[in-house]
Each structure stands twice: as C-alpha cells, then as structure tokens.
Structure 1
Amino acid sequence: MTFSLSTEQVPQANTSQSIPYLVVVDATIDNYQSLWASSLLGKEVHILDIETDGIIQIKTLLSQYQGLSCLHLICKGEPGQLELGTTHLSDKNLWEYADEIRQWREYLSDSAEILISGCELAASRVGQAFVSWLGLLSGAAVRVV
C-alpha cells in the first residue's frame, strides 16, 4: 500500500525516480494512520504487507528509486530484533538476508542514512552490534531514533 503525502506522483513499477526521503511503515504499528498528521507530511510513505517478507518488500520497493538519502523504517521490535512484515530480523538470521540488504546500496546515495523508529532495537549490546552490521551490509549510516 502506497501513500504519497505530497503533491508528487506516486512511482509506478519499473520507473526509477529520485526522491530524497522514503518512509516504510510496518502495518502492525498501532494507529500508524495517525502518523500522517504531522511528522510524515510531504514524504513518500509505503505500508508493508503484514503477510509478506518485509526485507523482500523493501528491496522491491527500493528498486523503484535511485539516490535515496534517507530510508526511514517505522516498525516494532525488541533489543536486537526488527519486525518487518512476516520477517523477524535479528542477529540470528541477519546473514540469511545479507544479499538482499546489500542490494539496497544500488538505490541509496553514497551518504544515505537509515533511520529506525518505533522499537527498542539498540537497547542492548546485541542490538547495537545488529545496527552496526545492518550499516555494514546496506552501506548506510544506521541510527535508531
């Protein structure tokens, strides 16, 4: 599901558009629709299908863009773990998704940043290591906000 909170055209499949900031929201976030009211206004927003692998969804979504400066993930999670669609990404399975996450580099700018909010991902040493590994794989600066 795609929502454009600006006057820009929503990208169609097989088009490559350059936008600076992309927001991906996991539909399991309580009251995610209320996010539209303020902080996401003017940004391209996509909602993940809760019945599909989230990493694959993100890879497919990113393939429609080029030169993203920021990928903002709003999702649930625990220290050292993210929930994206049906994917529970953690230190235990991160390397199974390494190839898909490395492909994100093709669509991100050289100075891109990945913001992760809505969860306590980095609340432990394992979580902090996970954030570092995610940055290594994606080529982006990863911050939990």
Structure 2
Amino acid sequence: MTKHTVINKRLFINIGTNPTLDFYSTRIVFIDPQVEDYQSLVLGVLPDTSVVLLDANQDGIKQISQVLESHQGITSLHIVSHGAPGCIYLGNTQLSYETLNYYAADLMGWANALSEDAQLLLYGCNVAQTEPGVLFIRCLSELTGAVVAASNDLTGNAALGGDWELEVSTGDIVPHLAFRQEVIAAYTSILPVVLDPSFDSDGKVTTNLGSTDIGRSIALQDDGKILVAGVSNNNFAVVRYKSDGTLDSSFGSAGKVNTNLGSTDIGYSIALQGDGKILVAGVSGNNFAVVR
C-alpha cells in the first residue's frame, strides 16, 4: 500500500506525507498505528470514509489539528486509539482531562472543521468509565462543539471482554460506527492501554507508605531510576524505584523517605539538580515549602 492510496472508494492518508490532501468524505477516521492490527481497520471502514493514519512518534492531537485546519463540514470524526478512564493515547502524547487546557486552542480549532450536529466518537477502552471519564468527554464536547460518545468498558473482541458499543454520550444520539460489521466482528484485539510487563511484571506498581498516600510528581534520574514525590500522612513523601519498578533499597528506608515539616505538608513537584540532589517543593500549612 502506497502512502496515498484509494482502497475500495476509501481514501487512505499517511500523516507523514500530505496532511492537507482534500477529502471527499464528511466522515473521517483517525487511527493510531499503535493499535493492534490497525491494518484490518483501515481496510474495513465503510464506503466514502477518509482514513488518516497518525505518526506514532509525533503529537497526535497536533496531527489531527493539522489535518482539520483546511476542512469544513465534517459530520463525524472517529478516533481509534488505546484508552483509559478519562484519557486517550494519540501518537506520543495523551489527551486527558489534565491536558485539556494545554490543547484547548487545538480542540476549539476542530470545531471550525465540524458541522453543527457533528459526532466525535472515541473508540478507546474505558474512556468514559468513572466520574473523571464522564467529565473528560463533557469538557471535550464543550471545546469542540461536537456530541462526544465513548465507551465505559472494553472496546473490541467479545472473547476478550470487549464490544463495539459507545455507551456514554454527551447528547441524545445513536453513534454510527465507521467500520463494516463483519470487520469489527472479526477483530481479534481490544483497545486498552498497553502496559509494559517488564515493569514490576505487569506494568503496575503500588506502594503502601502506611497512610493516605498520593503521588503528585515524577522525575527520572540519568541512571533510569524513578523518583515520585507526594504526600503520606500529611508529610512530604518521596519514593525511588529502579527502572524495573522495584523499590530502590539504597534510598532512604527501603526506598522511601517521609519528611515532617510540622504541619499539613504536601509535596507537589520534584526536580533533580545537576549534582544529583533532589528538590521537592510544595506547601506546609499555609506556607511555601522546599526540601532538599
């Protein structure tokens, strides 16, 4: 398949070539190539659908904005990517409730390309799961002007627990998927966040510091070790992990350091000096606080 290829009346565009190529369709599908077997989805869209394959090494939100800035009247915008509650992963970045402000100008720019009754469909797993997930799609709808629909469970193969229903929406719509029924029925994967099994065997680490523990900031050392700062029992807390996710026993007490500044203490940010010393900034009572 060449970079610009017409396949059974479907226009396929590789984002790395000509992102402003004219579309003849008002239905556009953006696919993140980190999705398993994305090729079958590219080939499986409905007729008169334009497909844009994102560059996995670039900012996916910016790529979508670049494509949309020269188009108008799009009635349905489909984003196929991995997802998590309140978050979708596009290229080398993520769009989440926490990053909406950063991308607000881009998202409001999408509104210029969409029709007044446009649908924005997010196919990632669990995106609208939990209260933060619902808040995310509501805010996304406000910024883009589109009715947003997303899934509150796994998306994809039924044998793996998935389906192709976008159960939660910001308006009274029936989401119309962009793929042929036989293609989604034959799809063998699901669209959750893919965790790294080399990190603590399953890609997840939970560390109990003994009380209400919240990690708020992260920093990477040159040797690959990971520093996480936050709060535990109203004290500054810092934990250091090895690159494989295990606690670094050479740091503090079994990889953990708690610092009591005498009040309600919360570490909000962590940074490394050039000499390797660690700075944690936050609040103690009603005062600024910095610990080194």
TM range (shorter): 0.7 to 0.9
Q: Which runs of at least 4 in structure 1 moved beyond 3 Å after TM superposition?
A: 1-6, 8-18
- Within the candidate set 113, 128, 146, 1:107 is matched to 113
Structure 2 segments unaligned to the other structure (5+ residues) = 151-165, 167-292
Give the Cα separation in 1 of the matches to 2:50 and 2:136.
26
Q: Does 1:33 align with 2:39?
A: yes
The offset of 1:96, in angstroms, is 0.6
Counterpart residue identity of residue 101, structure 1: L
| DSSP 3-state at the match of 1:33 | helix
Q: How big is each residue's C-alpha offset from its partner over 1:52-110, in whole Å with a ceiling of 9 and x where there is no partner?
A: 00110000111232100000000101001110111111111111100110000111111
Q: Does 1:20 align with 2:26?
A: yes
Question: Counterpart in 1 of 2:124?
Answer: 118
Which has the larger helix fraction? 1
Question: Counterpart in 2 of 1:81?
Answer: 87
Structure 1 segments unaligned to the other structure (5+ residues) = none
Q: How big is each residue's C-alpha offset from its partner over 1:91-135, in whole Å with a ceiling of 9 and x where there is no partner?
A: 111111001100001111111110110321001110110000000
Question: Counterpart in 2 of 1:50?
Answer: 56
Counterpart residue identity of residue 68, structure 1: I
| DSSP 3-state at the match of 1:50 | coil
Question: Counterpart in 2 of 1:7?
Answer: 9
Question: Counterpart in 2 of 1:98?
Answer: 104
Counterpart residue identity of residue 129, structure 1: L
TM-score normalised by structure 1 residue count:
0.88
Q: Which protein, 1 or 2, shows the higher relative CO under an 8 Å CA cutoff with sep ≥ 6?
A: 1
Greater mean alpha carbon deviation, residues 130-139 or residues 79-88:
79-88
Higher Cα Rg, which structure? 2
Q: Percent identity?
A: 32
After superposition, the CA RMSD in angstroms is: 2.2
TM-score normalised by structure 2 residue count:
0.46
